Amino acid sequence: MVAEDTMLANSSRLLFLDDSIHSIESVGSDELVAPYTHLNSEIVQVASKNPTRIAIIGGGSYSLPKNLKSAYPSASVEVIEIDKQVTTTAEKFFSLDSSKIKTTTEDARLFFAKNKNSYDVIINDAYNSTISVPWHLTTQEFLADINNSLRDNGVYIANFISSSEKDKSGLLKSYYKTATSIIPSTFALKTLDSSSSIQNMTIISLKNPDQQTTNALTQKFKNAILDDPILNTPGSVLLTDNFAPVERLMLPVVNDYYAQYLNNFYIKFLY
């Protein structure tokens, strides 16, 4: 379902998948609306100054792929999207030009398990619903495939919903613990001023970075990077293919989030 409203930005168009909002775009503008997509774009600017090959997991309205293709017109931008209808909807309603952005219709886990290409940037923006993420795209085994698909100095960016509040931070701490076990130079960033609020969190993993890149990243995002004491408190789980209780880790967030979500979005758009 596609809907339009002026509540979030002037003449915004929203993509709903299974009654959940997956993308928001300004009609007739390339401006990124969602704060975390702004953050992702800025991370790429700092961590990968002139990328030539970019992969993005999850299409949605293709707002981030379109933004990156505009910023780096000579770069190859490829989207791995499991649902062909999502791509078709983006072409019809969100001005996706498929001649400029390549889409592979496949589960990203299978794609990267057999991938032979090397990327400067890989962004994981896949969601099952508004706030839940596919568990098999969070594990050590998947991140090992990602690491093998990154060039030296490459960057992996992963988006998910969480909080630093003690009883709601399970996925944040577990994702961070798992990422650092594969790619040691990893940071966790918030998108809102308060890290305890339920919000988009972003993991940044740098493969064999030089000191200049690391310094530039930590300086640029010093107010967003979460401190180790928050991330290393008890309650984290090393996510593996044999044990990745993502739904259980997300449950405290889900219980709080949907009450607000129902009031703000479902009632307005669906009833």
For the chain, strand residue ranges (E) read 2-5, 12-17, 20-26, 53-57, 76-81, 102-105, 119-124, 150-162, 186-190, 199-206
The predicted-structure confidence for 195-248, as pLDDT tens digits, reads as follows 668 888 999 999 999 999 999 999 999 999 998 878 988 889 999 999 999 999
pTM: 0.88
Distance between CA atoms of residues 119 and 174, nearest Å = 25
Q: 206-216, pLDDT tens digit by residue?
A: 999 999 999 99
What mean pLDDT, rounded, does the chain reach? 86
Please tell me what DSSP assigns to residue 266. Answer: I
Residues in a beta bridge with 203: 158, 188
How far apart (Å, rounded) are the C-alpha atoms in residues 12 and 161? 22
Alpha-carbon span 58 to 49, nearest angstrom: 23
Rama region for 151: left / alpha / beta (φ>0; ψ in -120 to 50; rest): beta
Instruction: Strand 20-26: give its sheet, edge to edge.
Output: 2-5, 12-17, 20-26
Whether the predicted pLDDT of 19 surpasses 70: no
In this structure, which amino acid lies at residue 256?
D
26-80 confidence digits (pLDDT tens): 666 667 667 788 899 999 999 998 999 999 999 887 989 999 999 999 999 999 9
Compute the distance between CA of residue 186 and CA of residue 32 in angstroms, rounded to an integer: 25
What does the alpha-carbon distance between residue 108 and residue 58 come to, in Å, rounded to a whole number? 8
The reported pLDDT for the residue numbered 259 is 61
> What's the confidence (pLDDT) of residue 135?
95
Task: Tell me the per-residue pLDDT of 126-185, one tens digit each, with 9 for 90 and over.
Answer: 976 556 789 999 999 999 999 999 999 999 999 998 988 888 899 999 999 999 999 999
Residues 77-115: pLDDT tens digits? 999 999 999 898 888 877 788 889 999 999 999 999 999
The per-residue pLDDT for 34 is 74
Q: Using alpha carbons, select from 76, 100, 107, 103 the residue that is nearest to residue 87.
A: 103
Q: Which residues contact 125 (CB under 8 A, 6 or more apart)?
A: 40, 56, 57, 58, 60, 64, 159
Whether the Cβ atoms of residue 54 and residue 123 lie closer than 8 Å to each other:
yes
**Is residue 267 pLDDT above 50, yes or no?**
no
